[in-house]
Amino acid sequence: MTSPAADGAAVRPGPVPGFAVISGAQVQQALQGREKEIVDLVEATYRLHGGGRTVNPPSYFLRFPDRPASRIIALPASVGGADAVDGLKWISSFPDNVAAGIPRASAVLILNDHDTGYPFACLESSIISATRTAASAALAADRLTRNRPRPTRVGFFGTGLIARYIHTFLAGTGWDFDAVGVYDVSADSAAGFCGYLRQADAENGGAAEITVHDSPEQLIRSSDLVVFATVAGSPHVTDPTWFDHHPVVLHVSLRDLDPRILLSSANFVDDVEHCLKAETSPHLAEQATGGRDFLDGTLDDVLTGRVEPPAGRTVIFSPFGLGVLDLAVGRYVHDEVARSGQLRVVDDFFHELRRYG
């Protein structure tokens, strides 16, 4: 006798999630003005990660012999907890795009259903990626400065989209600066960023003094909080004495600092195994010393109170950027768009649902 499961004819397909496509405009609308909420979400995700309730495999770098400056990165991940979700971020970085007048980075995020594994959404993800990066930086800035005077002078080394998002998240979570320093190898980029800063100040009622610095040394020495947001592929800041005033450094672009600077500072990362690879500055410091003793801990160590950042040393936060953060923010965006009734579902995206037709 043939069972119903064997012939396939008597078995109805189980529930398959709908598949939605969420545009960049919808992503931006869901996230705009919610900086505090997103920082809290990122903190909760770091805590899940620190507690072993995530899966975050190594990122895969697709590189091109004919385009050595460009790459596409795959970040698979899984987040547990109440809003469990699996997925993949697929993000490209093509620096030559900037000269052509389009953004350097582009990305999509795929969300997979926890129970069935079916993809249920594809989201424009350059905004999500910038948002989770900025939220992580704002969280680190807050937690790494709690045992020292709150910085009032911030310096941005690199003035692209990520720098803009980080400034937006700092302002949106209560930071108020007396002075904002700017340095970029492109005068046009520095001028454009200054225009954004002036507009943001006007909208928020601020009056920060904005200065475009002629050299990296000037920027670093005049800042208590330094943000590196460049596309550098290898260290280009080499003098540890520039940091003698012991600023907090958000080393978001990961490859700007000579290992000697890290070795004279306190160092925190988002994930040790992820950060110490791919020729990042922490990876180079590990190679130079043959060990990891220069690391003081992770951001989760600071969040949970296991490690206290030193007040009398330069403190550097080097985040590799975890796919679990993209998933958490992406799931938040999907749910917000669904609640608004604006979710665009592709009917019959999954078509072959019977094993034998």
Residue 92, pLDDT > 80, answer yes
- What is the structure's pLDDT at 197? 96
Query: pTM of the prediction?
Result: 0.92
Position 17 confidence tier, pLDDT thresholds 50, 70, 90 = confident
Q: Are 111 and 89 in contact (CB under 8 A)?
A: no
| Pairing mode, strands 105-112 and 85-93 | antiparallel
202 plus 81 within the same structural domain: no
Q: Say yes or no: 108 and 251 in one domain.
A: no
**CB-based contacts of 194-203 (< 8 A; 24+ apart in sequence):** 196/164, 196/167, 197/167, 200/167, 200/168, 200/171
The span from the CA of 190 to the CA of 183, in Å, is 7
200 falls within a domain: yes
pLDDT tens-place string over residues 272-283: 999 999 899 999
- Sign of torsion over alpha carbons 203, 145, 327, 101: positive
Range of the domain at 28: 4-9+16-128+324-346
Mean pLDDT throughout 91-112? 93
144, 309 Cβ separation under 8 angstroms: yes
> 339 CB contacts (<8 Å, ≥6 apart)?
none
Residue 357 falls within a domain, yes or no?
no
Q: pLDDT higher for 352 or 33?
A: 33
Clarify whether residues 78 and 48 are in a common domain: yes
Q: Do 202 and 105 lie in a common domain?
A: no
pLDDT of amino acid 180: 98
Task: Kindly indicate the confidence band of residue 14, based on its pLDDT and cuts at 50, 70 and 90.
Answer: low
CATH number at residue 317: 3.40.50.720
CATH number at residue 104: 3.30.1780.10
Check whether residue 78 and residue 181 sit in a common domain: no
**% of the chain exceeding 90 in pLDDT:** 86
- Whether 135 is covered by a domain: the verdict is no
Mean pLDDT across the chain: 93
* DSSP-derived 3-state class of residue 200: helix
* Nearest alpha carbon to residue 233 among 72, 95, 100, 137: 95
Do 49 and 161 belong together in one domain? no
Residue recorded with tokens 């990626």: 129
Rounded mean pLDDT, 288-311: 97
Same domain membership, residue 88 and residue 158? no
Q: Give the gyration radius of the chain's Cα atoms.
A: 22
CA distance linking residue 39 with residue 223, whole number of Å: 23
The answer to the question of residue 179 being in a domain is yes
Domain count, the chain: 2
Is position 137 within any domain? Answer: no
Do 110 and 250 fall into the same domain? Answer: no
Task: Say whether both 317 and 176 belong to one domain.
Answer: yes
Pair (73, 177) in one structural domain:
no
Q: Which two tokens stand for residue 300?
A: 């989760």
Residue 227's φ and ψ, nearest 5 degrees, are -115, 120
What's the pLDDT tens digit per position in 131-185?
999 999 999 999 999 999 999 999 999 999 999 999 999 999 999 999 999 999 9
Instruction: Confirm whether 269 is domain-assigned.
Output: yes
SS3 123: strand
Q: Is residue 356 part of a domain?
A: no
Domain assignment of residue 291, yes or no = yes
Q: What sign for the dihedral angle of Cα 41, 168, 237, 245?
A: negative
Same domain, 193 and 307: yes
On whether both 212 and 237 belong to a single domain, the answer is: yes
